[in-house]
Amino acid sequence: MHIFYANRGTFTIVFTNSRFDLSWRSQSKEAARENWKEVKNILELQELNTAYLTQIHSNVIREVKKPGYQGPGDGLYSFQKEIALTVLTADCLPVVLTDPQTGFCAVLHCGWKPLAKGILNKLPKIFQRHNIDPNNISAFLGPCVDQCCYQVGSEFLKIFPERFFITKDSRLYFSLKQFVTEQLVKMGIKSITRVELCTCCSSLYFSYRGERCTQRQATFVIKRC
């Protein structure tokens, strides 16, 4: 697992891998509970109070005020302590944002559909609403299918700028990370940490594109103090 203790320990950020299947749909509830329990033990947490969504490949970002089910959507943000904001992925790009000045933290499920629908465009309005300065934000981009493996159709060129594509053997390949990185920089976010691993060609991760799998890794961020 990739574990970051950001901003002098104010936040804990975790990107899990295929060591643990954290989907509740691909396995029995007992197996899922054991896997989540093991993650909690590794992090040395007495409780892991999650906030989670029904992910629908949308641009919906919900504010979290208490743990538990938050409804349909693809992003969560909060100012509350000890709530693990959570998304599940198996090729899509998980993005975490933290701000030690306001206590803001967020997690986003950034597949191509949420990005095409403008999920990142929702962030400036949230920042403005809560008086958040983007210069104070740290962004963490987790493992996803990288440009080496993300073959797409020509219809993507109608959605995303051409500079985020490369062509190999007459096939088109798209970079989620490059697109998201540029969008975050345009917002004024300067501190961006990226996990430079591809979920499709690395054996460390579950990959829907590579394996048509139903298992999922998780990303979560917890405000600790």
CA distance 174 to 163: 9
Query: Are 191 and 137 contacting, i.e. CB atoms less than 8 angstroms apart?
Result: yes
Q: How far is the C-alpha of 192 from the C-alpha of 128, rounded, in Å? A: 20
Q: What's the CATH class of domain 2-223?
A: alpha beta
Residue 6: which pLDDT band, with cuts at 50, 70 and 90? confident
3-state per-residue secondary structure call for the chain:
CEEEEECCCCEEEEECCCCCCCCCCCCCHHHHHHHHHHHHHHCCCCCCCEEEEEECCCCCEEEECCCEEEEEECEEEECCCCCEEEEEECCCEEEEEEECCCCEEEEEEECHHHHHCCCHHHHHHHHHHCCCCHHHCEEEECCECCCCCCEECHHHHHCCCHHHEEEECCEEEECHHHHHHHHHHHHCCCEEEECCCECCCCCCCCCHHHHCCCCCEEEEEEECC
pLDDT tens, residue by residue, 41-90: 988 888 899 999 999 999 999 999 999 999 999 999 999 999 999 999 99
With a cut of 90, say whether residue 9 has pLDDT above it: no
> With a threshold of 0.75, does the pTM exceed it?
yes
Given a cut of 80, whether residue 8 has pLDDT beyond it is: no
In this structure, the strands spanning 191-194 and 138-141 are parallel
Which amino acid belongs to residue 186? K
User: Using one digit for the tens of pLDDT, what is the confidence trace for 95-127?
Assistant: 999 999 999 999 999 999 999 999 999 999 999
